[in-house]
Structure 1
């Protein structure tokens, strides 16, 4: 009875913690979130992006191209549920909800008789810091997790489940086509998959290379290649568009580095993703991607992964399991994209490491049933796992939020923007051009709330208002270059660096 009750309870708790206060924690929206929201809103309402391109494959923004999957799903959410800050991040929740559901059925198919493994996977994946933080912000990366778990689900069904021995079995071929399609779709989800998808496809074919897999491999590869046709056409038309951001973040194009120097940096960066300091204690230093001084996975998950490494060396049935070989190959491949960049380790670029570590740890957890003290060990695993998950969730909701004010920047912009509008100025200018996406996004938000008007249509009897971001540690309210020679009002939300200064007469 406990097993039957536990699954729905854990599902409910996981979804609850991922959706509660979604628009409030983290505090404020980051510029990338508002950029995604801008384009999703325009697609939903008008059918074109911020550059007036109708239904683009990739979205040009900030001098780079954003991936389409998240934005188009976000546009559907806006169309159905309405435009709001909450619904912007609610798209991430929907991606994660689908991820956790598919992961559950994926684990259930691999371990049909061990309900404790199902429960372990749900608790781990549902609260894992590596996934939790990205699932509550409007970043494209969460869609990669969802697409990759769908790919794994269908790959498992394609090659590991027993069907009719006929090579023309329709289920086998359908699952092969689906798996190739989802691997191709990952290229449109998050940037790292543009590099990772190809070696992952090769790994599938090499591991399942026997003759009896031939037709499935053909269907898989053809489906994968077909899904990349739009990508190939885009690259042909815009040969450098999708590498702009990569060239800014990688050391591979640095002329000051020798080939050996680049190779050494790559090895160092690659290893950094597997250090205990990163995985267990420090995590990502970027407070948009982690809560600070907390690992990206739990000690329990890491311990079971180490146990799996031991089993892989000692146990024949583990060493000969083709699907385990495939997951191991994916684990080896997954840090490659991140290791090519300066900022390393970085959680978003390496998030698939967390997924593959988790799957391998589930295999190790299942092996515990073969030990005499299995009840004691299993109980200990659950106690420590729940304790770590409880600690992380507590820190996330009660300690982490104040740290996000500086990390996400956008806190208080809406307040300052609204105050500037309420003043009814001749003009409303943005001093810091890098935050132009906030103007666009919150213009749409305030329009929905009935609190926006075009200052150009006002009576123009009052002076100009200036929205600005105070970059100094101690607020400098002087800004002598603004409202010079006239009285002004200066307002902003407590704790926010965004303020509005309105001149009381025309300048």
Structure 2
């Protein structure tokens, strides 16, 4: 690698690091409930060796009965130990692994195409400024960790083709990705099989090392395989598109309609397998939606900057050119590998509801960046295009930064459950003077914020629930009760603090101690003290 290439790589990595850690604790403007849950469970394991439910070193984090994969929680332990339980410590592992993904991405492309250093540098640069990647590198979502490990594992696999000693490391990192998030549990077996078929001669040329890879991957992943029926199964059943109760009503009605009319093919044409197949195909194709990719993103405001898609608009022509180039050069193994990763990326997401889904489809990265880099290289011989593209990219990038740091914290604050931190601190001021603190459930999962920001003693909290089933709603502990507020009844309470929404507590309610506002000036919470 030339000195110029080293300097460009260093500058890219500095940019990637700054974009992922700058004001990490302040933006996004609040922890969402999943982040708070990961953080408190890390705190609980750090203090007691058990999660909030009292499970010793759990293989899945029960959380809100969605059973999160455990690796992110364990990786957050050092940051929580050093920095305390706060927004920065919870998000720091994601930022670090997001930065490492840029490094892995560079070496992945180098191994795919050793002669083209420009392709590797461009891909790393595009990933470093990717809105999709920055978004999830700055929040404590397990998917970003899984993606970083996934990229590294593939990189190590390609390295193993030259030196078999890297096979065990690839297996271990693939297994860690499986421990990180649900989607890799489907994607990784398909990608590994594709890698073996694509590089079959080179794999079998180092057969003992590859067999070590297979055995080690199975052994290390086996504990999580045992958990699949309980953890992944529970999560999958809640988001699966293959849901008979929701999807088969129309099919059954159509078959009955055909039966009454003597139509012989009704059972075939309206078969449940065809129904589910159409749903899965529709979900898969949703991920190629241009609005999702380039204009609006998916509906949750937590998944993208305001007014932005998952990719830059300037990426579109480059991606189209890159895809054409890949198709025309399909015989090259490196390009077939890119297409394998591209088409495998949305497989897990397509089996779920709410497609396209930016979190579950994050495994598109860095494939889109590789394809865009290929597209740029193919046309960059025309210098005027390079200048035009660079100008448009700079404008697009500056627009993204403006949207992310100025507009998003205001426009999407409610999506981040903004206001809970302030509500917890306000409740603490009145804790000693009331017998009961009622907190609305309108925004979902309020209890986790009170555990998090109060830094509730995990051993004490676990002892309250030992031997008892914990309900998601109407949870109670100590003075706290989490449920929706019925003002007509609850206004009659004595020695109580009510924390509710403006829809639940009227603006003329007596005893209002504070109103907590979203950044746009609308009311998030009204807090009333009944004496």
1:398 — aligned with what? 406
How do 1:107-122 and structure 2 match up within 5 A?
A: 107-110=109-112, 114-122=116-124
| Counterpart check, 1:476 vs 2:503 | no
How far apart, in 1, do the equivalents of 2:217 and 2:316 lie? 32
1:464 — aligned with what? 495
Moved more, 111-120 or 347-356: 111-120
CA contact (8 A) 1:412 1:492 kept: no
| Counterpart check, 1:501 vs 2:528 | yes
**Following TM superposition, by how much is the alpha carbon of 1:463 offset from its aligned partner in structure 2, in angstroms?**
5.8
How far apart, in 1, do the equivalents of 2:121 and 2:334 lie? 21
- 2:341 equivalent among 312, 319, 330: 330
**Following TM superposition, by how much is the alpha carbon of 1:295 offset from its aligned partner in structure 2, in angstroms?**
1.8
| Counterpart check, 1:228 vs 2:236 | no
2:391 — aligned with what? 383
- 2:354 equivalent among 327, 339, 343: 343
CA contact (8 A) 2:44 2:51 kept: yes
CA contact (8 A) 1:143 1:189 kept: yes
TM-score (norm 1): 0.84
2:485 — aligned with what? none
1:482 — aligned with what? none
1:408 — aligned with what? 416
**Following TM superposition, by how much is the alpha carbon of 1:73 offset from its aligned partner in structure 2, in angstroms?**
0.7
CA contact (8 A) 2:517 2:525 kept: no
- 1:266 equivalent among 270, 280, 287: 280
3-state secondary structure, aligned to 2:302: coil
1:202 — aligned with what? 193
Structure 2 unaligned regions, length at least 5: 249-271, 459-476, 480-492
CA 222–320 in structure 1, closer or farther in 2 if over 3 Å, else same: farther
**Following TM superposition, by how much is the alpha carbon of 1:71 offset from its aligned partner in structure 2, in angstroms?**
0.6
| Counterpart check, 1:245 vs 2:235 | yes
**Following TM superposition, by how much is the alpha carbon of 1:174 offset from its aligned partner in structure 2, in angstroms?**
2.0
CA contact (8 A) 1:14 1:127 kept: yes
Question: Residues 420-455 of structure 1: CA distance to partner in whole angstroms, max 9, x if unpaired?
Answer: 2223323342333531101100111899xxxxxx98
How far apart, in 2, do the equivalents of 1:302 and 1:219 lie? 42
2:323 — aligned with what? 309
CA 176–304 in structure 1, closer or farther in 2 if over 3 Å, else same: farther
Question: Residues 206-260 of structure 1: CA distance to partner in whole angstroms, max 9, x if unpaired?
Answer: 222224354454233223212212113334xxx3332112111112122442322
Paired positions, count:
464
- 1:492 equivalent among 479, 490, 515: 515
3-state secondary structure, aligned to 2:301: coil
1:286 — aligned with what? 300
How far apart, in 1, do the equivalents of 2:388 and 2:7 lie? 20
CA 329–107 in structure 1, closer or farther in 2 if over 3 Å, else same: closer
2:490 — aligned with what? none
How do 1:433-448 and structure 2 match up within 5 A?
A: 433=441, 434-444=445-455
The CA RMSD over aligned residues, in Å, is 2.8
**Following TM superposition, by how much is the alpha carbon of 1:110 offset from its aligned partner in structure 2, in angstroms?**
4.4
| Counterpart check, 1:418 vs 2:445 | no
How far apart, in 1, do the equivalents of 2:371 and 2:167 lie? 23
CA 222–340 in structure 1, closer or farther in 2 if over 3 Å, else same: same
CA contact (8 A) 1:74 1:88 kept: yes
Question: Residues 447-483 of structure 1: CA distance to partner in whole angstroms, max 9, x if unpaired?
Answer: 9xxxxxx987xxxxx96343523063x962467xxxx
How far apart, in 2, do the equivalents of 1:464 and 1:455 lie? 15
Structure 1 unaligned regions, length at least 5: 162-171, 448-453, 457-461, 480-486
CA contact (8 A) 2:434 2:497 kept: no
CA contact (8 A) 2:112 2:334 kept: no
3-state secondary structure, aligned to 1:492: strand
3-state secondary structure, aligned to 2:437: strand
CA 240–446 in structure 1, closer or farther in 2 if over 3 Å, else same: closer
CA contact (8 A) 2:25 2:91 kept: yes
CA contact (8 A) 1:199 1:333 kept: yes
3-state secondary structure, aligned to 1:468: strand
How far apart, in 2, do the equivalents of 1:32 and 1:489 lie? 30
How far apart, in 2, do the equivalents of 1:379 and 1:118 lie? 20
1:295 — aligned with what? 309
How far apart, in 2, do the equivalents of 1:150 and 1:224 lie? 15
CA contact (8 A) 2:12 2:125 kept: yes
CA 146–464 in structure 1, closer or farther in 2 if over 3 Å, else same: farther
